[in-house]
Chains A and B, each alone.
Chain A
Amino acid sequence: MSFLQIRNLEKTFGNVKVLKGIDLEVEEGGFLVLVGPSGCGKSTLLNSIAGLEAITGGSISIGGKAIDGLHPSQRDIAMVFQSYALYPNMTVAGNIGFGMEIRGVAKPERDKAIATVAEMLQIGHLLDRKPSQLSGGQRQRVAIGRALVRKPQVFLFDEPLSNLDAKLRVDMRTEIKRLHHRMGTTIVYVTHDQIEAMTLATKIAVLKDGVLQQSGTPAEIYNNPANLFVADFMGSPAMNLIPVTIKRNGSGVSISTPREEQDPLVLGVPNAPAGLSAHDGKEVIFGIRPEALTDRDGADRNAANVAESECLIEVVEPAGSDTFAVTRLGRKHVTARLRADANVAAGKKTKLAFNLDKAVFFDPASGLRIV
């Protein structure tokens, strides 16, 4: 039985359906990351778990106990907000201790708890300051401290790092991961950041327009996207999604796509999913991640199915550790990820290796993965 369980959750604002039947669960100690485009309902989902928004349908339970209808303070959760939401008129210690003060915890006990948390987050020297006297990173620590001190069953984070600069974001990300290891508390975390999602999560849930598109481990989401939206949304640079025509020849399947100033690209796909042959003569979407499309020498040696083709390179973007090369297939720009010292030049043809082990196919009409 999973720890946090969300069953058929629905939420409407006026007559706008914002969450449309979300089913989601996390095991105890898990780290669930919610991702999705702006306005898809991530914050609403988080607020529903927190009890800050009354839900219109479905149920939520924590540790087997239904929490529907409970006041936010009785759900045994703690939340860290994007804007930190520190009480401006209270000191850092006052902020961290406010919840205990409201619950009537005695002052010595409060001070002890505050000191413990402050030490854990290294903010002991800031306890007497007001939030306005802190830097962004320090405010974030205080906000996390205020959540930690509650010792909740579930932590809720709503884009906690999005207001920090790039360097600090990486540091805080590591810190949150370390805290999660140390405390082992279940976490639900909203982010826009791909890397945050991939590095922190034990489970990722992708939302779009209030509908859960897919949930699974980061590897599952990344390697086996359930539909076009997930494939396109996760990963940076994004997965190449190329319209191709399916041809059956004997027992095998091949894909072809037209190219400008070149012969059409035709690749045999020995490991094609069974469902693909049903699309004979029709167009499907061929998905291949940039790192599965490389120069010949950089190709994965363990891959069983690698196809090669000469491609006209239009743009070369050296990125330090890798070089990205852009070609055009089926009127779409396609990014290949080459070794940093790969021998490519814009306007020249280069042999690219397609690692078909990693290829995925989608039905363009429904957007669903073809399996």
Chain B
Amino acid sequence: MTSSETVSGPAPSPPPAPGSDVLLSVRGLQVHFPIKRGLVFDRTVGHVRAVDGVDLDVRRGQTYGLVGESGCGKSTFGRGLLRLEEPTGGSVIFDGQDIRSLKPEALRLMRRRMQMVFQDPLASLDPRQSVQSLLSEPLTVHGLSTADAEEFGRDSSSSHLAKAAAMLEVVGLPRGALAKYPHEFSGGQRQRIGIARAMILNPDLVIADEPVSALDVSVQAQVINLLEHLQDLLGLTYIVIAHDLAVVRHISDVIGVMYLGRLVEEAPSDDLYAQPLHPYTIALMSAIPIPDPEIEDHRERILLRGDLPSPANPPSGCRFHTRCPYRQQTRCDTEEPVLRDLGAVAPGRRVACHYAEEILAGQIAISDPSLQIDPVAG
């Protein structure tokens, strides 16, 4: 089978019951892709450990921001949750139900409650479908929800059309858009269509995989605002994926930072920005300016050197040790740090670094001074 034992944190709390505060509970999730070689018979010569043991909880009505460099496994994690990519280990409990144990048909029906918004809006819409067809297709499959049936009438193509038009209005597109095709819209409008389609089934959870990174900077804020507006309107729970901390900052309640298939830090959004604890988060934060001059002047800023190591062969010990400026000879190369609660030092936060406390207290200096960005010059 796959890889080594998962080193997971102190397995927090038993799976939540249906209707509890925690909508989604993920434990030790793994998605490994086999690497195949061979001319005639495919031989598995290894695995790409795209997602390699992720634990997290998402609370109802909240937004969980997931950030990390390109290739760290964010999209694969999102797809693994919906079983669009079949997980190879771990569990996903959605509203008290174990997603991984669902039979194909039950999974198909369950999908109405978990939807996805994609990075490239044009690629995520069938170019041959008109907007009307795009929006009514999910309704044909699952039918209108009870509340919608009350408002728009008995399940029929006319009530589906009415719901589709209403949904378009909610995302800020004219009804005339129904007759058009995806290639006739701008990027921002296409993403609105993608969002309308994801929301038309009244899902509970929406996973937005880099929803704005393919859009012009000028429309990014509009789309983010739309997502926030819909969250309030429809009572949605979000997982928003981004490669850049700046995008998720103001919409997230909690932010998880991913590195090479694992979560390295998790904290309430404001806390993370005020004081990143994991060296990787510190490096990510160094890349973005902070408007508050107080913090800007005093924060530690470091450069991220080198490339992301291959997820097929992650470094031993701490996965970040090949790039970490705080790396210590003693434990970093050999012992894998667990994602642990820092307790009184930083309540409500989890960090996967052996030396988080010492770094916070300023007791460990950066080993290679060239990596430090001079606070005056930088």
Q: Do A and B actually bind?
A: no
Which A residues form the contact surface with B (CB < 8 A)?
none
Which B residues form the contact surface with A (CB < 8 A)?
none
